[in-house]
């Protein structure tokens, strides 16, 4: 039988072993050897399974490796083991925020702040999560607390800039972001965000330059190792590749013509769903689908550039935007005619395509409406309404028709998400499009189809829609913007669209 003295000695040895392995793991962690650090922390936990610090450190290392689900599990274990740890709650907030679980992140950061009112990082992070949740006024209050604790906190000034951005206080946003960069000129996220605000204000020359910091801010790896194209003459082909979503790719493709007019030979790598649409529109361009890992583009490639940086070279100021192009993409005319025949509007009726939500992981919820909110629009006489909304909308459409008795034509067998060339043909078959800011909006504008785009206020307002204008001559001359008022529900914007449609349909 083990005596009490022997049991005590055994516990002391366990503690010694825990400290030895934990200390070794911490050194490995600090040196950047994350795999060995995680293994060391786990070995330490074998001697002290209820140690919260070891759990939170493993979570930090897993987060650095991009293993967000595992990191969340470890941070949740840490706060359960020690519910008094501000650091662990702050770390839990970080991993939740990175997964766009903003409301949960807000709650975790609030706990961190309450547990340690001197934790400036927690207050700044709390504000960042509130920004992401669209609660900009609340965010600014939390960030100001961080700055009261630490006035030279560059990241907090950057977060405050984004609070002002969301409030629509763009001059204040620019000023706050510049303060952040005065404190830390290499703060990539602040530079990227400054670029976004400057572009939103139409200050293109500086905006593009700062926006290029997204490569560092968002850890975007360059897919190719060719020389970077900065506008220099090249003998051979220029490779342009997209690193953003299909809507952005469509917008960026509007600059292909500028390049062709300058005699450049272009290879355009894009989302495979856009290949037929862009190839039809620019038959002299070699359009290829994006692959992972990247394919060998051949020996004739002499330079490359991410498509999101094209504006930096091609359109450095407003005078370089062509104002007379009515659509730069071309839908399949045969599919368009066939779809128009299926829709079969009665004589005198106009075909109106609608799209009401966005799947964007970061901004989608802020840009989206519900189909049930569109009832007044679909009651407009003289119109036949067509579904342009990608995704599985069958249940929502069925409930809407059952509740309102209003029909919405849906083309069976046409995948509006994966068949973007088909979506383009359907959009081209419409006389008018009404949509939130999503891929459908970009397709309508790029085709030159008349479109009313419901643009969100605050964080849901993307830079290319500008700040005040109704028209979008720089990108899509056929589009008109209906802007959501600050703190207003979508009902006001939808009412404007309904009133316009009545006038159009008369």
- Is residue 458 a contact partner of residue 366, using CB atoms and an 8 Å limit? yes
pTM of the shown model: 0.88
Q: What is the pLDDT of residue 338?
A: 97
CATH of domain 237-320: 3.40.50
Q: Name the average pLDDT for the chain.
A: 91
Q: What is the pLDDT of residue 85?
A: 95
Q: What is the pLDDT of residue 377?
A: 95
Q: What is the pLDDT of residue 154?
A: 97
What does the alpha-carbon distance between residue 312 and residue 213 come to, in Å, rounded to a whole number?
12
Strand bridging mode 350-355 / 301-306: unpaired
Whole-number percent of the chain with pLDDT over 70? 96
Residue 460 vs residue 403, higher pLDDT: 403
Query: What six digits make up the tokens of 35?
Result: 């795999």
pLDDT digits 0-9 by tens, 367-410 = 889 999 999 999 999 999 999 999 999 999 999 999 999 999 99
What does the pLDDT average to over 158-171?
94
Q: What is the pLDDT of residue 486?
A: 79
What does the alpha-carbon distance between residue 64 and residue 95 come to, in Å, rounded to a whole number?
10
pLDDT digits 0-9 by tens, 86-145 = 999 999 999 999 999 999 999 999 999 999 999 999 999 999 999 998 899 999 999 999
| Cβ neighbours of 257 (radius 10 Å) | 16
What does the pLDDT average to over 274-288?
97
Whole-number percent of the chain with pLDDT over 90? 76
What does the alpha-carbon distance between residue 315 and residue 424 come to, in Å, rounded to a whole number?
26
Mark residue 231 as left, alpha or beta (left: phi above 0; alpha: psi -120 to 50; beta: remaining): left
Element (DSSP H or E) covering residue 71: helix 68-81
Does the pLDDT value for residue 456 go beyond 90? no
What does the alpha-carbon distance between residue 38 and residue 49 come to, in Å, rounded to a whole number?
14
Q: What is the pLDDT of residue 459?
A: 65
Does the pLDDT value for residue 6 go beyond 50? no
User: Which residue intervals of the chain bear CATH 1.25.40.10?
Assistant: 15-213
Query: Helices 52-64 and 68-81 sit at what angle, rounded to 10 degrees?
Result: 160
Does the pLDDT value for residue 482 go beyond 90? yes
Fold annotation for 15-213: 1.25.40
Q: Does residue 295 sit in helix, strand or coil?
A: coil
Q: Does residue 421 sit in helix, strand or coil?
A: helix
Hey, which CATH number is domain 333-505, 3.50.50.60, 3.40.47.10, 3.40.50.2000, 3.30.390.30?
Answer: 3.40.50.2000
């Amino acid at each position: 039988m083990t005596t009490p003295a022997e049991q005590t000695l055994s516990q002391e040895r366990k503690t010694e072993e825990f400290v030895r392995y934990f200390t070794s793991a911490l050194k490995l962690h600090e040196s950047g050897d994350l795999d060995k650090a995680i293994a060391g922390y786990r070995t330490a936990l074998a001697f002290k399974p209820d140690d919260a610090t070891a759990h939170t450190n493993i979570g930090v290392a897993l987060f650095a490796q991009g293993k967000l689900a595992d990191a969340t599990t470890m941070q949740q274990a840490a706060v359960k083991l020690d519910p008094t740890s501000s650091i662990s709650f702050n770390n839990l907030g970080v991993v939740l925020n990175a997964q766009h679980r903003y409301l949960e992140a807000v709650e975790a950061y609030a706990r961190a702040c309450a547990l340690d009112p001197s934790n400036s990082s927690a207050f700044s992070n709390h504000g960042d999560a509130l920004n992401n949740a669209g609660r900009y006024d609340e965010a600014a209050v939390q960030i100001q607390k961080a700055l009261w604790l630490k006035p030279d906190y560059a990241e907090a000034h950057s977060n405050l800039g984004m609070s002002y951005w969301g409030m629509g206080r763009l001059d204040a946003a620019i000023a706050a972001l510049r303060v952040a960069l005065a404190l830390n000129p290499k703060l990539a996220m602040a530079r990227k965000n400054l670029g976004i605000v400057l572009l939103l204000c139409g200050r293109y020359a500086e905006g593009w330059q700062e926006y290029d910091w997204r490569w560092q801010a968002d850890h975007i790896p360059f897919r190719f190792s060719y020389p970077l194209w900065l506008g220099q003459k090249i003998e051979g082909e220029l490779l342009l590749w997209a690193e953003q979503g299909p809507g952005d790719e469509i917008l960026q493709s509007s600059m292909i013509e500028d390049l062709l007019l300058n005699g450049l030979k272009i290879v355009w790598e894009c989302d495979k769903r856009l290949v037929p649409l862009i190839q039809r529109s620019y038959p002299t361009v070699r359009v290829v689908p994006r692959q992972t890992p990247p394919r060998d583009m051949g020996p004739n490639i002499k330079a490359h550039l991410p498509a999101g940086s094209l504006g930096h070279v091609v359109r450095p100021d407003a005078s370089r935007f062509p104002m007379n192009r009515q659509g730069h993409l071309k839908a399949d005319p045969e599919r368009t005619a066939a779809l128009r025949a299926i829709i079969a509007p009665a004589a005198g009726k106009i075909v109106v395509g609608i799209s009401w939500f966005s799947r964007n992981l970061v901004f989608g919820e802020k840009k989206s409406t519900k189909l049930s909110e569109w009832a007044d629009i679909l009651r407009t006489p003289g119109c036949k309404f067509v579904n342009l909304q990608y995704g599985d909308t069958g249940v929502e459409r069925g409930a809407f028709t059952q509740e309102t008795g209003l029909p919405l034509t849906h083309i069976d067998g046409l995948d509006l998400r994966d068949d973007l060339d088909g979506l383009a043909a359907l959009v081209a078959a419409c006389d008018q499009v009404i949509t939130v800011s999503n891929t459908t909006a970009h397709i309508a504008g790029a085709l030159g189809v008349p479109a009313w785009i419901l643009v969100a206020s605050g964080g849901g307002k993307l830079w290319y829609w500008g700040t005040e204008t109704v028209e979008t001559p720089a990108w899509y001359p056929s589009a008109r913007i209906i802007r959501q008022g600050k703190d207003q529900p979508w009902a006001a914007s939808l009412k404007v669209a309904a009133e316009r449609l009545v006038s159009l349909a008369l």
